[in-house]
Amino acid sequence: MKKVIIILCLFVLGGCSSLKVANVEPKSGYFPSKTKATVVVNKPLDLDQRSSLILVGNSDFQKKQIKNINYFKEVITFEDLEAIIVKNCLGTKVPSIKDQIGINNAAKHYKPFLWFRLVTRSSGNDEYAQLILTDSLTLEDYFVTETHLDRIWDQSNWYPMYNSFIDYIKEHSKTYK
């Protein structure tokens, strides 16, 4: 229940200035941040073969941050994916995308994509925000980064994790500039 409340707060606070969409700084190639996130999982993946489509949560902040990385050809939300499923008459094959089975069915019947999502985890009294990159066909996590959850929801959580993701892209892409 605690995790549901935390994630709900993220979406409610999505309009707050603390979740300000930033541009990648041209000089550094990263979002502005003075801290670093911890990389928990970093598995090899040919990102260039999978850069055509990435699914993010129904958050303008997430969608715009990923777009600002300027690597993926198309960035869609769950709402976008539902519309695509309806438009392509896939509703009987993909009746829901609310769980991992639905995500997997969407990948099988529409086209493979990467799934980038936010989760929280607890360890004792500590809570962490995590960004996870998952292959929609295998449901294998290829990249996980985390920060200690800042109760104020400031950018000390988000920009460092997105910067870690930029590092992951640089490491596993031959075409990212």
Could you read off the pLDDT of 24-77 as tens digits, one per residue?
Answer: 999 999 999 989 999 999 999 999 999 999 999 999 999 999 999 999 999 999
- What secondary structure, in 3-state letters, does 5-55 show? HHHHHHHHHHHCHHHCCCCCCCCCCCCCCCCCCEEEEECCCCHHHHCCCEE
The pLDDT score that the predictor gives to residue 90 is 96
Give the CA-trace dihedral at 67, 63, 14, 122, to 10 degrees. -110
For all residues of the chain together, what is the average pLDDT? Answer: 89
Is 174's pLDDT higher than 50?
Answer: yes
Percent over 70 (pLDDT), the chain: 87
Is this model's pTM higher than 0.75 or not? Answer: yes
In the chain, the amino acid numbered 63 is K
What letter does residue 94 receive in the DSSP assignment? -
Give the number of other Cβ atoms within 10 Å of residue 100's Cβ. 12
Could you read off the pLDDT of 95-145 as tens digits, one per residue?
Answer: 999 999 999 999 999 999 999 999 999 999 999 999 999 999 999 999 999
